[in-house]
Structure 1
């Protein structure tokens, strides 16, 4: 029989659970009043910072095992810091404005008119957190009010440069778990510029101080998948900020791209108990402390602009913009794609993992938790099949030249002898460029998730990803078109290895596909679909910001494309970075070894990650190439044949300089089905450039591909995933 003390204890437990908690805004006020950060509360209660943020925004309430402890904490704080009395109306001496803490802080700091009053919801708190809207204008006992300020355009090292068009400042951070947004750009005057236009004071004088400041300032990004992890804070250092922190203007180690281990800043970081990843302190430095059991992740990434952290090939001149504009560019990219985690190639690969993490927590039979795979993800590293591997890989050693899977982008020029007199009489050649060709190819593409299995004499199945050894030399194709089976566009001469999309297209063309052997991956799925959707949405939204919208007519689209980059240079930089993310992300699937000390046949670090998958890269490129050939074939049915193809750019002889002079239409004026179509969506085309036909012929005579020069010198590279 249960004793009376046990019954009383059970009743007390019920009463604790039934005790109402304060309203969410009051929870935040109490924590702020006590000078506690969300991290402090999270550590005490054994939860994550984002969980505490959820309690304070009202998205969630504590579970019963945390509810009593959290309620007790809030009650204890409330006894010391009761709710403030509502402020009185403004007096006549202040011009109708209440004396806000922001304005007072501006006067005390001597900034005067430099300070613009912000709504309370838009103010960013110090490390303790944000003041809630219902206490706007009321100083919290014991906690100095933060300053959210804007500076005159004339201040700063880059003030002489024209600023990009200003973005509207939202009333409050979009991510409640990280009120500071995904990143901050630090100038040389101690101001941290946030993505939404706000500015925080950053008093850090050393790199360790800066790391602590970033962790306490609420900077970061919520996870994109429930089984993933939140994005670490990113702090971008301008040249002046880097110098103020003791960093050199240039890296002396141009090969290793890192500071020496005995550099004062590196020693300073280590002495403060922080660590660097194996890449050391380079342009993209990660500074962290190992996670203790039950503790929170402590990691901050620094991007050092004077060390070329932002590659101009992807970001244009973003690194030379004023700090506020850099924050806008990177913040927009972070919101639409992901907080940059290195180069755009690295970020493109990291985005795959962020959207489809390899593992998740699963319940065990005993009721505990263990790590289990996320369905549809790449869960563990796998070795490639021998034909799929690059030459350096251990499994590729000793293979013959005919045992290589050669799925690459097109580089083809038509034999001049096959040009007709009518084509040679035309005055122009016009280049058409496929929008985000590799991104379009990734859409609904089934790829292998697990290890490859070898089989002899298999029956071809277009639903099975892998590579197949087949003889396609007997398949007849029009010599005025590139072969769909080879990147050089010439007809195959015997058996070779092909990815599934290439053979599926051969079968579509009527070929009798009879593989001799194959390496197949029965465990498969559309792994890249979330990656495609996020990048497609980012691409389309950014194009819309630049005035290029879906559904425009051909002339409207061409006119919008003529002016889109000048419309907003900052958004043009975001667009460039999104494109580079697609290219680089696919390329990183087959990252090759680096460093002068590498020897062929040795393994290299990239092989140990689940996303090192050259077979997926090959499938995407094969799909993009066959997509392009399918449209060229439809154009040929209308009597139009290309002069040259380079990756996603194809050039045609034309009577006029516009794509409208090339693209075929039916009698109603609509584009012929299945041909290239002008438009903004991935897979549609835009105008790449025009040149006189004589110049095109001259380049061909010189052995050059005119598609490489149709826009300007080397404007079109040799492929998105080299």
Structure 2
């Protein structure tokens, strides 16, 4: 605890303008002139890299004993690397520089007060109060640096500069792959989330953009109050009829200890997924009139009070030490990075995810599903023309209610099937809709064995790409009987016999294909159908596209339709492409340039590399959540919580998976016709081809001009295009077939780089 003398000394130093230290910009210049990195300086001064960044950004100042050492180092550097240009105005050497005039803002732009920043070994600098931006008047002040460069994310916020520094130029941001968003919401000026940590006894909140806030809260209820009243955290709504994102606090192990929470859950608590209600922290929240949702105080917790009108009082906690950030979605499962990640890097990682996707609300899969609702809210405010009162009205383009389900579309454990089938009965294709991704492999021909390599390519964001432009049902099912005619505009499930479809009779661009070396487009295992089976609309439509007649026996269709997933796809596409661009892989690259950029990207920025994986997991998991199964929460054939959601729609999941598989098969057909090239295995979105060389460039067909043949697989970063997943030898495949007894799908094991391809 600081003494009264220390506090007054710190205040006096602030009032004096800190004349002994050069300005922040000069500190950075001297360090760079000496060729020393911020990380190296932090190591020498036994502090963190983020602390040095704050010093050089003017957000905080060093405190003793580091202050004296830092001052001595700067004085030495100043003698070695004097400035080469004289200032336009001079001031006495023993006085603080004169404060510059406030920066003028653009018309209509507010001038926010800068947030307080106080890492453990620093004293927060004072700032003049914000004022209306007048025309700058001549003043004997140092020449300001150039105005901040505009960014593509949002206009730079205006700040009143600190007396000892002029405004720093902002680094230009890489052009975003979406329209420029409106100016930042000042209610949430500190970003969507903060990582709470403790350093040298001080509680710090690491936010996006390198911002660090001092946290005065001494208890968990006080931390929640501070978040809602002072921290200015949260996220503006993604749709005008939606709601703002609640602030998210990520608690490090040190923060858990500070606020009376265990750093690890017991076996019993882990099985329950929460702390018991008798825990001290839970009782503290209850006494302070805070409530918890049904999932309680677990790895992902919501702490709230009842809303007051349109204003919510809710904070979400994320506790990585309790496995909130599962390595299968958020980390590199082969070399986990999150346990040792600095809080500033963790804030950068999750903050970028929040800004590009949305604030996490649980697992990546849960967030993927929540993103659908955030972009298509089920209700909107509607004004009564008579009374003038606002009521909630349904949005026609959204999923608004829980509808009846269809027997063929639900999984085996659904209550609808209770008493219908025996517990271990394997439903046939005529009893169950089996729209799943490919899991197909075949033996190599003698000619294929003569080629040395097997090259695997992987479709980028395949499930998200399959959702783009797909018409899905928004209401409940309508049962059609009596051999209804097939209507491709009606999403749903159709009972139809497609066993007569023979791929060898199909001509693609006037050329025949060898149907025996291609998987069937109608079954996940690639087997030829043998009789009537249930199919989603995209599958039946593909049979018609191939030139075959179809005669459904019955169907369950939806009559209110829409492209519900388009906005969801575009949001995830932009997040993925922007993040890959941060790693040096841009949409303009193709061929060898693309492959080289992909190889370099894995070492360029570990934090952004994790973000790519999280975005892919969000896309894949969000689709899976549309048919979330009973994970043991309740007995077999009893209702489980997911069934209460309007977004529990197995028919929509089936349509996306059918469209993904059909889209993949369409390219397989095009490639076979163009180059007499046939796959030997397909696993989800990975395709394996025999090749004379080790890269996709050795096998994928190209035109005489060197461009990809239209309709075939194309190397590139955009969703739906492909990347290199791995290469093995034909000898390796033959050995695997012998060891596994013919049940081995080489597409699922061909990865030569564990980071390449994650099934999405």
What is the TM-score with the length of structure 2 in the denominator?
Answer: 0.74
The residue that corresponds to 1:182 in the other structure is 192
Selected match of 1:262 from 258, 266, 278: 278
Q: Where in structure 2 are the equivalents of 1:320-719 lying within 5 Å?
A: 320-366=340-386, 367-397=388-418, 398=420, 401=428, 402-414=430-442, 416=443, 419-456=444-481, 457-477=483-503, 478-595=515-632, 598-637=634-673, 638-701=675-738, 702=740, 703-712=743-752
Matches of 1:640 and 1:256 in 2, distance apart? 52
Q: Distance in 1 between matches of 2:172 and 2:24?
A: 27
Q: Distance in 2 between matches of 1:410 and 1:238?
A: 41
Q: CA deviation at 1:394?
A: 2.1
SS in 2 for 1:463: coil
Deviation, structure 1 residue 173: 9.0
State the Cα distance separating 1:450 from its structure 2 match: 0.3
Aligned residue number for residue 324 of structure 2: 309
Relative to structure 1, the CA distance from residue 715 to residue 698 in structure 2 (aligned partners, 3 Å threshold; closer, same or farther) is farther
Q: Distance in 2 between matches of 1:302 and 1:347?
A: 14
Aligned to 2:178: none
Alignment of 1:208-223 (within 5 A): 208-216=221-229, 217-223=231-237
1:700: Cα distance to partner? 2.9
Q: Which residue of the other structure, out of 252, 255, 279, is the alignment partner of 1:241?
A: 255
Q: Which runs of 5 or more structure 2 residues have no equivalent in the other structure? A: 1-14, 26-54, 75-98, 104-110, 119-125, 134-158, 163-170, 175-181, 332-336, 422-426, 504-514
Q: Distance in 1 between matches of 2:473 and 2:406?
A: 12
Q: Match of 1:265, SS? A: helix
Distance of 1:639 and 1:394 partners within structure 2 = 49
Range that drifts further, 674-683 or 357-366 = 357-366
1:135 shift after superposition = 8.2
Shift of 1:421: 2.0
Give 5+ residue unaligned stretches, structure 1: 1-87, 137-144, 149-165
**CA deviation string 1:202-237 (max 9, x = no partner):** 122211111011112110000001110000010001
Q: Deviation per CA, 1:126-149, whole angstroms, max 9, x where unpaired?
A: 99x99764389xxxxxxxx9999x
Q: Distance in 2 between matches of 1:248 and 1:327?
A: 22
* Alpha-carbon distance in structure 1 between the residues aligned to 2:663 and 2:59: 63
Query: How far 1:345 moved relative to its partner?
Result: 0.5
| 1:66-118 Cα deviation digits (max 9, x unpaired) | xxxxxxxxxxxxxxxxxxxxxx99899997899xx998985889874899999
Instruction: From 290, 296, 299, give the equivalent of 2:314.
Output: 299
Aligned to 2:86: none
- Structure 1 residues 495 and 135 mapped into 2: Cα distance closer, same or farther (>3 Å)? same
C-alpha contact (below 8 Å) 1:707/1:716 kept by paired residues: no
- The answer to which of 694-703 and 105-114 deviates more is 105-114
SS at match of 2:298: coil
Q: Answer yes or no: is the 8 Å Cα contact 2:117–2:211 preserved in 1.
A: no
Residue 154 (structure 1) aligns with: none
**Offset of 1:513 from its aligned partner?**
1.1
Q: Given that residues 651 and 707 in structure 1 are in contact (C-alpha distance below 8 angstroms), is that contact kept between their aligned partners in structure 2?
A: yes
| Structure 1 position 603, deviation (Å) | 1.4
8 Å CA contact 1:318–1:573 kept in 2: the answer is: no
Contact 1:646 1:718 in 2 (8 A): no
Q: Quote the Cα distance in structure 1 between the aligned partners of 2:715 and 2:566.
A: 24
Aligned counterparts of 2:128 and 2:248: Cα–Cα separation in 1: 24
Asked whether the 8 Å contact 1:123–1:147 carries over to 2, the reply is no
C-alpha deviation, 1:295, in angstroms: 6.5
- Residues 515-539 of structure 1, C-alpha deviations (whole Å, 9 max, x = no match): 1000000100000011011100011
Cα distance change, pair 322–714 in 1 and its aligned pair in 2 (3 A): closer
Query: Counterpart of 2:302 in 1: which secondary structure?
Result: strand
CA deviation string 1:459-479 (max 9, x = no partner): 111111000000001111212
Q: In the TM superposition, what whole-angstrom CA distance separates every residue of 1:581-634 from its partner, at most 9, and x where no partner exists? A: 0011011111112335x2232211111111111111110000000000000011
Q: Using a 3 Å threshold, how does the CA distance of structure 1 residues 698 and 146 change in structure 2: closer, same or farther?
A: farther
Q: Structure 1's 319 and 379: CA in aligned 2 closer, same or farther, altered over 3 A?
A: farther
Give the root-mean-square deviation of aligned CA atoms.
Answer: 3.5
How far, CA to CA, are the matches of 2:367 and 2:471 in structure 1?
22
Name the CA distance, whole Å, in 1 between partners of 2:573 and 2:460: 11
Distance 1:510 1:229 in 2: 47
Contact 2:724 2:756 in 1 (8 A): no
Structure-1-length-normalised TM-score: 0.77
Q: Taking structure 1 as reference, are residues 109 and 355 closer, same or farther at Cα in structure 2, changes over 3 Å only?
A: farther
Deviation for aligned residue 1:174: 3.5
Instruction: Map Cα deviations across residues 6-64 of structure 1 (whole Å, 9 max, x no partner).
Output: xxxxxxxxxxxxxxxxxxxxxxxxxxxxxxxxxxxxxxxxxxxxxxxxxxxxxxxxxxx
Pairwise CA distance, 1:636 = 1.2
User: Structure 1 pair 529/97, CA: closer, same or farther in 2 (3 Å)?
Assistant: closer
Once residues 208 and 585 of structure 1 are traced to their aligned partners in structure 2, the CA distance between those partners, rounded to angstroms, is: 32
Asked if 1:194 corresponds to 2:210, the answer is no
